[in-house]
Each structure stands twice: as C-alpha cells, then as structure tokens.
Structure 1
Amino acid sequence: MPHSDDFLAVHDPAAARQASAPGGDGRWWGFIAALAGGLLLLCCATWLLSVQRGIGALERDTATRADRYAATLEATLDRYEFLPALVSFHPFVHQLLAAPDDPARVAAANRYLDDVNRNAHASATYVIAANGRALAASNYADPGSFVGTDYRFRPYFQIASRGRVARYYAIGVTSDEPGYYIAQPVESGGRVIGVTVVKLNLEWFQRAGGDRAEPLMVSDEHGVVFLSSVPAWQYRTLQPLSQGLEAELAATRQYHDREVSPLALHALSSPVTRWLNSTVLGPGSRLVGVARQAAPGHAAGSTADAVRVGSERADRYLEVSRKVGPADWTMHVMASVDPVLAGARNATIGAALAYACACLLLVNWRQRRQRARDMQYSRRLLEAAYDELERRVEARTADLMAINEQLEGEVVERTRAENELRATQDELVQASKLAALGQMAAGITHELNQPLAALRTFSDNTRVLLERGQLDAAAGNLVAIADLTERMGKITGQLKLFAGKARQRRHAVALQGALDHVLALLAPRLAGVRLSCSGLEAEPGLAVWADELKLEQVLLNLVANALDAVAAAAPDQPRIALTVSAGAETVTVAVRDNGTGIAPEALPHLFEPFFTTKEIGQGLGLGLAISSSIVREFGGQLSAAGAEGGGAEFLLVLRRAPGQQVAAVGRDAGVHP
C-alpha cells in the first residue's frame, strides 16, 4: 500500500509542495499585513501633509484678507477722527454753549451741524452741554432728534467731560441704531463747557465679509462681538462676562435692549490641531469650532467634517485676528476648513487608489512567479507520479482480478436469492387477494342482510294482502319488492366504486325522498330509538347533486352505524338526530347519536379501508371508506367528530341542486350537471 504523502504528491502537486514548505500561508498573511500597514502609513502621511499644506495656504489667504479688512476699517475711523475736534472749535458751538437757551444760537448751531454732517457723510453730529443734555444736533428736524436727550449715563460723555477724547461703540437709545461714537471735549477758560460727538454707522463693514464661507466679526475690549457678517453671532461674547461687567453694560445701556449671550466658540485641542498650531499657524491664527445652532442658516459642512461641542454639532474654522482702531478692537476673519479637509480626503483616496494599483501589480507579479515555480515543481512530481502509478496499476490489476472472481460468485448467489424472493412475494400477494375476497364476501353479506329482511317482510305482507283481497296494497308491495331486488343487485357492484373504476352520472336528488326511503328500510331497527329529523320543514323540495342509490347507501350506512353505537352504549335512552342545514351552494346533513363515541386515536383512521372499531365478525371496515369515496365522487365531503355531551357526529356536505330542477327529478330520472 503506497504512503499517504506519496498519494498527495501524485494527485495534488501544489498541495504537496505547500505541505513540504511549512509556513507558506504564514508568509502570505505576513505579506498582506505588510501591504495593509503600508497603506495605513501612506494614507496618514498623505492626509497630514495635505492638511498641513491646505491650512498653510488657507492662513495666507485669510491673513491677506484680514489685513485688507483691517486697513479699510482703520482708514474709515481715521478719516473721522478729527471731525469732532474741528466742530468743537467753531464759534457757533461756543456761542451755543455760552447761551444754551438762546433760540437763534440753537438754530444757527443746528444748521451748521446739519451741513457738516451732510458733507462728512456721518450718521449724526451733535453738541452736549456740560450737564449732559444735547443742545443741538444734525438731525434736529427729524422725529427722532437727539436734541434734549440726557447723555450723562453714556461713558463717552463721561470721558469727554473729563477732558479726554472718547471712542465708544453702542446702540442709540433714541434711534435704536448702532454706531461708533467719537466725543471731543469743548474747553473754555481751562474748563470743559461741553462735548461734541460724531456718530458713524459701521454696518457697511460687516457686509464686506458677507460670504458665508468667510464669516467676519469685530469684538470690543470686553470680547463682545458688535459687528458680524453672521447675524446670529452679533452681540455675542467670546468669553463669559463678569457680574461687574454685566452690571456696567446694563447701566450704560451700551447695547440698549439687545441680549448679550456667549457665543459657542472654542479653540480646538485635538493632537492634530495642536500640531498644526505649533508648526503651521502663526501668531493671531488658531483653529476654532463654532456650534451650528449658534449660526442658523450657515452652510453646514459634511458629516465627516463636523465635530462635537458638548452635545451640539459644530463647524471648524481657521480664525485670523487683527487689532484695529484706537479703541482696542479685535477683528476676526473666519475661514472654513471644510475645503481643506475635503481636499485632504480626496488626496488620501487618490493615494490609496494608486497604492492599491501598485499592490495589485505586485501581487500579480508574485503570483506569476509562484505559478512558474509551481509548474516546475509539478513537472518533477509528475515524473515521480508516473513511476508510482505504474507500480500501482500492476498491484491493482491483480487485486481486481481476484475481486472480479469473487463478484461473479456473489452475482450467481444473488440471482438465485432474488428468484426465490420474487416467488415468495407472488405467493404473499395471492394470499392477500384471497383474504381480501373473503372479507369482501362477508361485507357483501352484511350489506344484503337488511334488504333481504325487508324483502321477506314485504313478501309476507303481500301474501296476507292477497288473501284479504287488497290488490292495490299488494301491488304496492310488489313494486317495493322489485325495487329492493334491483337495489340488491346494485349493492353487489358497490365494491367497484371503492376501487375507483366506476363513475356514474349524478342527478338532482330530492333529499326528503332519500331520507324517507332509508328510514323505511331501517324501520324494524328504529323501534325503541328516539329519532328526530329537522331542517327540511322550511324547504321540503331541497335537492342535492348525487346518484340516488349511492346517496341512500351513504345515508343508510351512517344511520346504521349510529344504531349500532346507541345499541351498545345507551340501551335505555338511545337517541339519533338528523339535522339538515342548507346554504347558498351546499347542503349539510348531520347524523348525531348518543352512543359510545369515537376514540381520539381512531379518528384519523376512521375512513381507511378495513379499519373498524367493532368486534371481530361484526364488520370489515369498508362501510365508511366506501361512503367517503361516494361522497368525494359527488364533489362533497364526509367528516366525523365527537359530539357534545357524548356520542359521535358525522357531517355529510353535498352540492346543492337548483330548486327549479327538483320538480323534474324522479326516482329513476334526473337532471345531470
């Protein structure tokens, strides 16, 4: 017998080579792990490099725009810086402050301020007395004129009244419009006699960064954002305010009735963010996150580019800050990092695809080399296998010759055994046929007993009637005798129906007549039995599709079985109930008794041939099987179940015949479906 390793080498050279080279699968897994590790390193390096370059380019572009925005804002502020001082030197202003109640001087000052404000394109220019009341204003003729308003609560008035130039951003309590206030003290004789104020509207500046991809905002020295291209960010704080500062803002009414609440902005602190802040970003630049709910309507980034701030979703920005103006303001230019992340993601995907293509080429080259080595190894194995096969063929040939001789002897022995078995089976079949014929003869005798008894009764009655001269009654008995004789002949042919070889024509049979005939045949046995028949009173002409003789045979079998059951179980009060219920398409006949009932284990086998629950010699078990076959031939159904209160109930369901055809149906003629 050849060794198992030799057999493996002959039939599977590649498997034999792999078995002879242990660790082959391990080398492949190591190769795949190395490729996966290289892919991971390449993706990480590509992503980090792309993000580094993208953030650097984004910072340069954003810083350029921030410088441009800062220069524009500072130029605007510088252009109006000296306007309040020029107004404070005019004689009209000094004359007004010297005689504030003189209507002529008030009118002259109002016209002068209106002319200056119109030429300078400022929002408003007005003069405040030392007591804080506005004496004249450029909007003196407007419904919301500043004339007469008390400004003592404003910080810019308080600072200017102490002899210093004040710069202040606030929302006007009279006009409800935000503006930048420059207040200049008016001095005379070494003391401050009043204050001149110029108000500038800087709302145009926040529209300069109106691009939603580049939010722009300006915050004051307290971190309150008073200018923003994103409306939801305006009048928000970059850090929580102290209680004292909140009280001061409420007292000075700097932002009037606007609610100042914190802006959900925070500096990002992930490892990648810290690396970018230390290696790429310069002073004044940082990566921040802003909660999206703080900026309704702002363009949201992709799901992959969103971060979490607490339980809120947030967008990531590059923030570039610049100090602007003499009031210690800070301008913040925000640039979304979503394009940088998207570019890094695309570059990473491209690098991964290129790496995958290179890996596929490498794997293909490796497999080609492997196949070439396999072919060489297989050639050597085949040469050895040919020699081994020759030796095996010789050994197997000798074995097959011996086995062949043995098989020839076994074939002869098996042929003889099969012939004996076939003869034995033929004898068993013949014996089974003879036994079945004997049982069927007994069944036929059982079925003919009742018609013979009725025939004997009718014959005796006819003889008596003839002796009495009652010829009409005797003639009726003779007709019944002829009918019973014909019926006995038909009963002997019912076993053919059980075999399924005879199919007779169906008629519309009156159900009342069939029941009457069956009950007449069983009248001697019904003596002493409480019989009830209901359901036909409303429809006496009810008919079903059936063969009259076969239908009576089925009903006869069911009622006879019920009589046998009540005779054995209830000799004192035997009861049999026949109930007919008609539907639109079917008619159901229920035969119920109070006999012994049906055992649950016998119920599934009740309609099988030769199955009986009666004593030996009292039945063959063919009655219900034949009845079930007859009912199926009619297109109906026969079923059995235990009745409530004991006993058994058989349900006979038949197809209903049209009512208009019943009148034409006789005992020997019918309408065929």
Structure 2
Amino acid sequence: MTRRLLVVLALAAALVAVCAATWRLAWLRGIDALQQQAAVRADRTVIALGDTLERYESLSYLVASHPVVGEALETGASDAIARANRYLTDANAHAHADVTYIIRADGLCLSASNWDRPDSFAGSQYRFRPYFVDAMGGRVGRFFGIGTVSHVPGYYISQPVYRGGRIVGAAVLKLNLEWFPGTDANEPVFVVDKHGVIFLSSVPAWKYRAVRDLPREVATAIEETRQYAQQSLAKLPITPVRALNASDAHVVRVGAKRFSPYYLLTQRRLGAPQWQLMTLAPVDSVLDDARNTTAAVGFGFVSLCLLAFYWRMRRARLREVMKGRALLQKAYAELNQRVEERTADLSAANAQLQTEVAERTRAENELRAAHAELLQTSKLAALGQMAAGITHELNQPLSALRTFSDNTRVLIERGALADARENLEAIGALTDRMGKITNQLKLFVGRAQTHNARSPVMRALRNALQLLQKRLQRISVEVRIRDVACLGDRATQPAPAEAGLYRPVDPAANDLSLVAYCDDLRLEQALINLVGNALDALETVDEPRLSIDIDVGLDALAIVVRDNGPGIPPDVLPRLFEPFFTTKAMGKGLGLGLAIASSIARDCGGSLSAYNEAGGGAAFVLTLRRADAATTTLPDAASSR
C-alpha cells in the first residue's frame, strides 16, 4: 500500500512538473510571437505618422518663405493682407491642411486661410502659444493642442518668417490628426506628448488622460498655454505586470478593476515632436493557447500512465495464466501416470478405479477453471481496445464542443443571441453525435450489419469539415467531383489531382443527390479520421493544401483525400491500417483512426487504401457502394448528426 501511494505521489509530482514546463514554454512562445507582431505594427505606424509630419513641416517652410507672407507681416497693409489671405487659402486647399495662418511679431494673427469664415483665426492673439515662441526664437515650432478659437484639437507646425535678415513673424500650419489612430478598440493605439498626456487614441475615452502622474509645474505650464483647454488630464490606470526581454515591451493591466484585461504594451519614440507611440495587444489568446496546450499535455500524460497501468495488469494476468497452464500440464501428467497404474490392476481393484475417475474429474474441473481465467483475460484485452477506440472517436466532438462553447460565451457577451442560438444548436447536435458513438459499443460485442444503411455523402463531408473547422483555419481546402461511367479499377486509382478532370463543389450546399451505402455517423467517423490524419501530416508544411475529390460511377463511388505533406514511408504502408500502429510522437495519437476507418469501409461493403502521390504527399481512397438517391428516404440534417 505504501509503495502504491509513493508511485501515485511521484506520478502526481511529474504531472505538475510537466504541466508547469508546458505552460511556461507555451506562454513564452506565444508572447514572443505576439511581441513580434506588435513591434511590426508599431514600427509601421511610427513610419506613417513621421512621414506625414515631415511632409507638412516642409510645406510650412515654403509658406514662410513666400514673399507675399513676408510683405503682409512687415507692412501690415490691407492690400498685402488680402493677397496673403488668397495665397493661404489656395495653399491650404492644395495641402489638405486644417488651417494655414501667419502671426505678427507681437502675437496677433494677421491673415489665415479661413479669413472669410465665422471661426476665422485672423485677429486672434497667440503670444502665449509655445509654437509662436519657438518661431520667434528662430526655431521650428511643433505643438499639439486644442484650438482657442475653433476648439478643435490639432497639430501646429510653425516656421519663422525672415524679412531683411530679421524675424517679422511666424507662419503656422494646423493639421487635424484625429484620423490617425483609427477605431480598433481591440488593439488600442495612442500617442502621448513629452509630458505623458494622451492626445491621439483609438479609444475615445482615453484621450486627454495621462499615462503617469504630472508634476505640479508641468500641469501649470499646460494650463497657462491652454494646450488642452479645460480637460482634467486624469491618470489612465496602466499597471505594469511583467517586463519582457525587450526594453520597449511590457505586459500591463489596463483598468482599476480586479479583472481588468491584460495587454502587451509596445512603445516607439518619434523624433522631432518628442512624442511616444504606444500600442496595446491583448494577451488573452496567448493565455488560452497556453491553457489548452497544458491541458492537452496533461491529458496525454494521464493517458500514458493509464496505458502503463493497463499493460502492467495485463502482464500480471498473463503470468497467472501461464502458471495455471503449467499446473494443468503437471496435473495431466500425474493423471496419465495414475491411469496407467490403475489400468493394469482394473479387474482386481474396482474401488481404486473409482478413485482414479474422481481424480480425473477434479483435474477436468481445474482445466475448466484455467480456461475461464483465459477467457476473462481476453475480455479485458477487448475492453481496452474498445475504450481506446471510444476515446479516439470522442476527441474530435469534445474539441468542437470547447470551440462552440467559447464562441457562445463571447456571442452572449456581445448580445449576438441569434448567433449564440446557432452555436447552442450545434452543441446539441454534437452531444447527440457523442451519444451515438457510445451506443456503438454493441459493434464491439457483435458486428452489426450496416449494408442497408444509406447516407448522403456531401452532408457527411460537410459535418466532418465543420467538426474540424478550427484545425482547417490555416489550410487551403478544395472539394471537387468527377463523373465517370463506371469506376472499375479507377476506384483505387483515381485521376491525378492536376489532371483537370474535376469540377469544384461547395460542401456547405445541401446536396442530397449523392448517396452511399453506409450509416450517417460511421461515414462521418471515417471522413473525420481521414481528414484528421491529413491535417496531422500538414502540420510542418509551409503552404498546406488539402483536396477532397469524389469519383462517382454507376454502382460505386470513391472519396479521395489528398494532402501535400511528406508522404507515407514505404515500410509503413503495409502496417498502415493495423490497430494501435502509429508513427506519431508519444501522446499525439493512439493508432486507431485509420484502423477504425478501414473497419467501417469493410462493414459497409467497401474498402480503404492509400498510396503516395507522384508529385509529393499522400492520398487515401475510401470506396463505397453507391445507392439510388431517388428511392432512398433520408433523415434530416439535424437527426443525422
């Protein structure tokens, strides 16, 4: 008992260690991929914004250098101001800026591109604006703030205007950058100024929030320059959680609530305006992937432990059977010796003969007991195969149930009740399917004859692809059909994939014209195993492709599942359909999928074969007898699942 307890504790500790290591590896791999994507996105955004600002900075220099602008600022004459108004209006229209205007040395705006509108800047005083101070000091002014006249936020670029070697004023361009961050709230993007105040954001509620505490002197300076008008500049609750290997990337939590979401924060600096671009990428997908991977590895570890326990119990049972057989042989030898001894003295010792008959009867009873032990061992072996088969067949519906349940939760949170209802119907259909799978236990006890069952091929294929839709997201899938007069040998030797003899079809269409002699559920099981086997072969392929071709004859049809994977090794082909034979890594398969599909094909009067394509990859051919759709009564789509 103590030894068993120690073994259980050791296995539990190993399970915890394996799950912890798997979680860490999956987390690091997911975060690394997310970090690379976020870095590319941030660099692309910084380049786009920098190019825009640099282009308009050159335009402000051209406006400041125009003689009409210099004349208007130096003389202040009404005709010079009128010419400047026309020039600024034309330049602003061609540059697609918000407003272009010029300011006299005393801070008064003399001329503007919106001079003829009610919100004209002309006549306004801008002595307090930092960009005016920079221009009067002979520098390029760069400033983002809320307009004092228009009350519209914008980016201001100012250039000094020289006349006769002295600065007579400033030329200013105002740009509306509200278009820049976009409106993607799932992956927020925002830009902060040198003080840490957000002024551009894809989340409107975050605008004019500070990413850090503002010193008193900074808050006073912002208020004096009226940079953000009357905004409160409250702090946005961004809490650092974990620093990554890159200095510009961190895992943070945004929000003050207990279950606030986690994001990957990526920062990039812009040169001249001293701005900082920040992007947030949600890490929920990384957590889900790590959680799913850890669960899969843990389940595989537990399965291996159970298989090892079953193997050990089977070995112990076999040892007992062998011991009983040895005892039985010894008993037979003793019995024969006694019979020989008693036969010579039969006529003289009838009483002794009765004793020998009793001994023989006892030996036969021992033989029957040993035989019963052997039958019990065979039943246990069959029970193991049966449990492994059911486990294999339930894996795919369980994965689909997880996907549909997660999607349903998200849809309910979004209020998409119609879509959630469709997912719940699909979940109900999958539970019916799992019930049918478990009801097939009788097939392991006595082979049920399914030669008269009929099933629409396209509906079974559609259900199989829907069940595997999560694994098919990155795969190029093509379903095609070819009509031939009589299949004959072509059922096992289909046309090449590139022969141009096939026409594409949509598996989602409700096509009930093509019917095969096979039960609905068993046909779906065979297709799921064949497509799943092809998906396993495509895991390491850079450009995976999967094609499902259907050769239709008068009395038979062949379903060909092709992939462009590495193919089947020659030494594996002879054993491909043996139960528990697999070439996959430990914990990634039981070796029952192809064996089950081959058994289904034989039970339905068909066959399953495989070969390697000439151009690379493998092909599996499922041949079935064809039924007449016109005389076949088919169940509806819901009941077939």
Q: TM-score, normalised by structure 1?
A: 0.47
Report the structure number with the largest CA radius of gyration.
1
Q: TM-score, normalised by structure 2?
A: 0.49
